[in-house]
Amino acid sequence: MDRRPSRTANVIAGAGGGALVALVFGVLIATGAIDTGDGDSSRAPAREQAPLPRSSTGDGEARRDGELTVGDIYKRDSGGVVFIQANADGGQDSPFGLPGQEGAATGSGFVVDEEGTILTNAHVVEGATEVRVKLGTRDAVDAKVAGSDRSSDLAVLKADPKELRAKPLPLGSSKDVRVGDTVVAIGNPFGFDNTVTTGIVSALQRQIEAPDGFAISDVIQTDAAINPGNSGGPLLDAAGRVIGINSQIATGGSGGSVGIAFAIPIDQAKAIVPQLKKEGQVERAYLGVTTADVSQEVANELDLPSENGALVQAVEKGGPAERAGIRAGSKTTSADLIAGGDLIVAVDGREIDQPADVSAAIADNKPGDEVRVEYFRGKDREIATVKVGTRPKNLGARGGGGSRPPEDTFPVP
């Protein structure tokens, strides 16, 4: 089985050397991509987009196979996509550690119920003191942030449904998405409201970095044109159902779309929106380790018993994993990995092939739950029972409890 090169858990496979950009667009402050200067900033080869089949009706009625034209989808769903303006006073740094600046940022969002609930990205409204939303040519209305989760980069806004007068978008399932499926994005790139673009699903199970430094897994990659201002808007399937929330792009140093964009799966949003509406935040289980991917080459170099698993790079001092006896290594290798640590291969009986699997397995639990972690220490397979803690608000210095970001990606607001 072919394995990816050894990367840490926040690495986005296939992102090249370009900047990774959170798609919030500054109105009063200039924004753009940060080029690290050591990556490949060339444009990816053009890909012919698969056209949507034409519908036999002009009123948005689905074909027998459930697919609609782009025009039908736009006609039906654009009325539920909002333009968001979030005003900040500059008192808080950006979600990616950049200095706070006074001004306004814009993004997108979409209505999910008849109660005026709007789903968007957390980084769109991070630090906002005032939020207003606008539908088409109507006047903007006030909205409040009902809940925000930096670990998933999702936020819920609440507006008066009588003032909003919007039709909720139908929600699909990201489990049904396949590579090659046609997709449609509706949003407000660079402030151009109600812009529609099309593309395909380029890849699945990508990872991006959340505003708090942890990894967001199972992300959808698309080549639909996504730009700053699209953040928080819907990614729709060929039947006009929301399958993802557009969040970030890889720019290749260009500052705009090069056909590599990332959307958070709608199923992740479905799982946390009720908690955000009720409690305003999400508490997540926490193991307290930083892990790295293992390739066949790394397994051979380090004489590991398996080429699958998550190699422990750091353990948070006093954290759940350390208390259970899980160890990190201490010797840096030619692959820029720390050797000698435990190799996690299963959590609660769930096989671990890569670091993202650890995060996913721990996410199925609540703080205080006990999980069974199986790992290799040298050639010996051992088991530890870990009482998971509560994930901290920020990954901080990335010394333990999360995943290191790739050096060739740079999220900016």
* Catalytic residue selected from 153, 193, 223, 408: 153
Tell me the C-alpha distance between 312 and 377, whole Å.
Answer: 10
Contact (Cβ atoms closer than 8 angstroms) between residue 237 and residue 49:
no
Q: Scan for tokens 């290798």, then name that residue.
A: 333
Known catalytic residue at 202 = no
Contact 207, 216 (CB under 8 A): yes
Contacts of 278 (CB under 8 A, 6+ apart): none
- Told to judge if 38 belongs to the known catalytic residues of this protein, a careful annotator would answer no
Main-chain dihedrals φ then ψ at residue 271, nearest 5 degrees:
-75, -30
- Give the active site residue among 41, 94, 123, 151: 123
Give the phi and the psi of residue 211 in degrees, each rounded to 5: -60, -25
Encoded tokens for 55? 């519908």
| Residues comprising the chain, all counted | 413
Q: Is the Cβ–Cβ distance between 167 and 80 less than 8 Å?
A: yes
Residue 231 falls in the annotated catalytic set: yes
Query: Which position among 108, 231, 247, 403 bears the catalytic label?
Result: 231
Q: Residue 332: which of 302, 305, 304 has the closest Cα?
A: 302
Residue 219 CA: distances (Å) to CA of 16, 37, 289, 405: 17, 26, 22, 16
Q: Return the active site residues.
A: 123, 153, 231
